[in-house]
Structure 1
């Protein structure tokens, strides 16, 4: 598509778009068109019909292109973008050694730049929605909202509601000596803490945050707890209730690492997910991040309570202990989306990783050569992800009345031109280089990988300077040397 087409797409008025195909929930359909107006899909249907019923609109033909829903990143940490490459080769629970120190070194400007940089990467990878699990930088969370808004991406914005001070992994340690007595001891500690200054302030801020972005077209507030140990039972229950009443979600990292599961068993006599169930925190409002270590009983708990999961396959490969049983989740109707965890912002590669991880972890051993048949991962990267993060009625599908968050994908590339099965091909052979345009809320945000209304390259140069300064002053501890240093050590041996 040429510059003239881009100018037409950048129009502020209603658009009648006629691509070669539109990706609907049932698959790619030829000969369809969409009408976009006021940020939403006003109509979706056969091109001839929409052309006839909207004679006032000049059709914008998009030869060789597929119009598809934008990807939904169900788990991200936007203010961690400065340290993304520091995770390579590191063992699990790097949040202690890398992420907490890094975010603690961010001031307001660097937090804004880090979040906007992450948003730009996400847009370049076809994500029209990112779900931020809450920053631990000592800044107003509105800084992150401003960065997302300025970048032009939809954001489910978490506010961290931790109320256990100090090291959360050693909190309420008095119950560790007697696992059978742990629930009573922990409940006693939680009850005592419920009226504390910290807890009261946390819950007041949570209520304010949920009310803060009413009517904002791009920012959707949510609550977050870093890990179950970081909040008292009273706060876990109350945040669940507040989110449910507001139609929002609570994000909690759950059953991600062996160390976390074992800490919970020592403290409560229950695994993390079981503990959340016992105190009444499971339900449709909960987004359980990672959930890689699940027993059959815990799968049943997820299914029975309607709790959603963020399946983060790349994060599992890079620094996890296991791969979430996402194929089993899909079979049992458990709600889940796909998340990057800030690893890399490419929606196609994320969908590929989702399928690939299931094939390696489960499919090879059972002779399952399909592992979701492609469409499963494409669906959970879009509509399923939107549902998991509380936006199923807002985005994730090309459908009348939903937000016009969509991509124009070039089908004439060598990877996609010889098409036999579009969903499988998008999962296995798609990549961000094939994305011509990204729309969020009906507005053209990216054209051929570059922002349409701000200078992307200049911003990236500025971000690189800010990143170097932040990483240098952060007390980061890495276990693994750089790849160059590791090679030198291996050669020396």
Structure 2
């Protein structure tokens, strides 16, 4: 018989000392284990994970916090985000691909220090509300010190893989434009956050042709030496593939391989347009991919072949691309996109099953962004980045296959608590230790000021305008 006593208060969970948690189920690396496990959280990590009776016996000084109707699972990892684009997230609706020139560049360049901070913190709040405990930011075009973004994520309480943009090519010219300053800045960035508890340094190049061949090689070397990743948008849109073909005679991923920039340090964002040879290059090199299914649906030309990647052992995580910060809806989109793009045509009714998408939304994503040894799993020694999810709801109580049910029926309103680094960061959708509603109101004001000075060009009209035009016809 399940214990339906009231859930503990946020005051108890956020007390700051060690916690002994006894949930209804724990998601282990092998899947959910019901009714038999407990965890101890101390000093930001999982101190113990094991049979409840044994854990309680070996930690008699701790009062067990029983969590009826809740599962304890790893937090989601957003393997591809653009935190300083949150003021214009809805501007992508109905727009054709490659909107960065018309929307994202003018929007981000219109940000000042305060608006960049608020935009990044707003994005971090949305991510936390959706169950993400880690986000990988692919770099900003805002002309501010990158520590503004780092501070925003740190203050929000989310773990961030923070990309420094290392573009140094002028229109795709050759290595004569290589800037030693670019690499010096990259080294400083990697050192600046090397010991930060929540901010993890990364390097980034917008697209392969945005950096010289020498810089692509050097950033790869620096990242590999630092145990970091280089984030590059690769094979995302038809126009991007064609640009690289015309300029170099190679597709983007082939070009990265040719210049020596392909390897385990690479986090290839999107990778939707892949040939069989490019799949082999990914598999052989150990490079990782951010599979961004919602971005494909909203503004893409194709869906990355994620089930094929899984079968071939290609490392990948799931990313939002800043579309919407809901981990459960992202996992659902990941499975649905594979089924629509590939499974229906071949009669594959499973498309990886539920466990595949939960695994790559957590552990696989952590590995892809370079944090596989730190987060993404509920094991002793790992960072205590986790969710308490209410499974007593009508959607989940009658459970037969919890991983599948969380993928297809889970929602962010079922997330009771979000912990990052062992601290309670969110309780029932709002920050536990700062004023999230005040931030949202400030963001609403600043976003209008930023949009007033940004030269954003939209192709698609608003919904109301589109309806009016349709009625006119």
Per the normalisation by structure 1, the TM-score is 0.94
User: Which of 52, 63, 81 in structure 2 is aligned with 1:76?
Assistant: 81
Match of 2:15 in 1: 11
Cα distance in 2 for partners of 1:380, 1:348 equals 12
Is 1:427 the counterpart of 2:407 in the alignment?
A: yes
Encode CA deviations 1:448-485: one digit per residue, 9 max, x unaligned.
00101111111101111001111111000000000110
Residues 1:148 and 2:153 are matched in the alignment: yes
Q: 1:181 — aligned with what? A: none
CA contact (8 A) 2:20 2:65 kept: yes
SS of 1:480's equivalent in the other structure is: coil
Secondary structure, in 3 states, of the residue corresponding to 2:77?
Answer: strand
Note if 1:383 corresponds to 2:367. Answer: no
The separation in 2 between residues aligned to 1:318 and 1:5, in whole angstroms, is 39
Indicate if the aligned counterparts of 2:126 and 2:325 stay in contact, CA closer than 8 A.
yes
Partner of 2:121: 116
- CA offsets, 1:106-164, max 9 Å, x none? 00000000000000000000000000000010001100000000000000000000002
- Residue of structure 2 in register with 1:125 after alignment: 130
Matched, 1:221 2:205: no
Please list, as runs of the form range in 1=range in 2, the aligned pairs for 1:33-432 lying within 5 A after superposition.
33-165=38-170, 168=171, 171-172=172-173, 189-190=174-175, 192-194=176-178, 199-432=179-412
- The answer to whether the 8 A contact 1:256-1:291 is kept is yes
Using the TM superposition, give the Cα deviation of residue 3 of structure 1 relative to its aligned residue in structure 2, in angstroms: 8.0
Distance apart, 1:214 and its partner CA: 2.3
Cα deviation for residue 4 of structure 1 reads 5.0
Aligned equivalents of 2:453, 2:428: Cα separation in 1? 36
Structure-2 separation of matches of 1:250 and 1:459: 31
From the superposition, tell whether residues 2 and 159 of structure 1 become closer, same or farther in structure 2 (CA, over 3 Å). farther
Q: Within 2, Cα distance between the matches of 1:45 and 1:5? A: 24
Once the 2 structures are TM-superposed, how far is the Cα of residue 320 of structure 1 from its aligned partner? 0.4
Instruction: Give 1:26 deviation, angstroms.
Output: 1.1
CA contact (8 A) 1:5 1:60 kept: no
Cα distance per residue 1:177-202 (max 9 Å; x no partner): xxxxxxxxxxxx21x233xxxx1111
CA distance in 1, matches of 2:130, 2:166: 30
Cα distance, 1:5 vs structure 2:
2.8
Residue 451 in 1 paired to residue 431 in 2? yes
Secondary structure of the 1:374 match is helix
Determine the C-alpha separation between the residues in 1 that align with 2:417 and 2:233.
33
Q: Distance in 1 between matches of 2:85 and 2:333?
A: 21
Partner Cα distance (1:381, 1:411) in 2: 19
State the alpha-carbon separation in 1 of the partners of residues 14 and 363 from structure 2. 25
Whether the 8 Å contact between 2:8 and 2:67 is mirrored in structure 1 is no
Stretches of structure 1 that go unaligned for 5 or more consecutive residues are: 173-188
- Match of 1:35, SS state, is strand
Q: Structure 1 segments of 4 or more deviating over 3 A?
A: 1-4
Partner-residue secondary structure (3-state), 1:491: helix
CA drift of 1:2 comes to 5.6
The answer on whether the counterparts of 1:203 and 1:235 sit within 8 Å (CA) in structure 2 is yes
Question: What's the counterpart of residue 26 of structure 1?
Answer: 30
Structure 2: runs of 5 or more not aligned: none
What SS does the aligned partner of 1:28 have?
A: strand
CA distance in 2, matches of 1:27, 1:272: 37
TM-score by length of 2: 0.98
2:33 and 2:360 mapped to 1: Cα distance? 19
Within 5 Å, give how 1:457-472 maps onto structure 2: 457-472=437-452
The superposition leaves residues 371-391 of structure 1 with CA deviations (integer Å, 9 ceiling, x where unpaired) of: 001110000000000000000
* C-alpha distance after superposition, 1:223-273 (max 9, x if no partner): 000011110000000000000000000000000000010111111110000
Give, in whole Å, the separation in 2 of the partners of 1:38 and 1:484.
Answer: 52
Contact 1:163 1:235 in 2 (8 A): yes
Q: What secondary structure, in the 3-state scheme, does the structure 2 residue paired with 1:157 have?
A: strand
CA deviation after TM superposition for structure 1 residue 56, in Å: 0.7
Residues 7, 67 of structure 2: 8 Å contact kept: no
